[in-house]
Copies of this chain bind each other. A is one copy, B any other.
Amino acid sequence: MPLSGAIELTDNRYGKAENRVVRFFKQDARHEIRDVNVTTTLRGDFAEAYTEGDQRHVLPTDTQKHMTFVYAQRGIETIEGYALGLAAHFVDSVEPVTSARIDVEAYAWQRISIDGVEHDHSWSRLGPEVRTAAVTVSGDGTWVVGGIKDLVVLKSTGSEFNGFLVDEFTTLPPTDDRVLATSLVVNWRFADTTGFDWDEVFAGIRATLLELFATTYSKALQQTLYAMGTAVLERFPMLAEIRLSAPNKHHFDYNLGQFGIENKGEVFWAADRPYGSIHATLTRSDAPEAGPAWEA
Contacts and interface: CB of A to CB of B under 8 A. Distances in A.
Interface of A: 1-26, 31, 33, 35, 39, 41, 46, 49-63, 65-67, 69-70, 72-73, 93-94, 96, 109, 112-114, 119, 121-129, 151-158, 161-165, 167-172, 179, 191-192, 207, 210-211, 213-215, 218-220, 222-223, 225-226, 229-230, 233-234, 237-241, 247-248, 251, 254, 256, 258-259, 261, 263-287
A112 B284 CA distance: 28
Contacts of A49: 220, 222-223
A228 to B, nearest CB: 11
B3 A240 contact: yes
A280 B66 contact: no
Given A214-B112, A281-B10, A60 B156 contact: no
Nearest to A41: B277
Given A14-B278, A73-B261, A273-B20, A151 B165 contact: no
Nearest to A284: B5
B17 A247 contact: yes
A285 B69 contact: no
Nearest to A46: B222
Q: Which 5 A-B pairs have the closest CB atoms?
A: A53-B219, A5-B286, A2-B237, A5-B285, A122-B214
B167 A213 contact: no
Given A6-B285, A56-B163, A63-B167, A124 B210 contact: yes
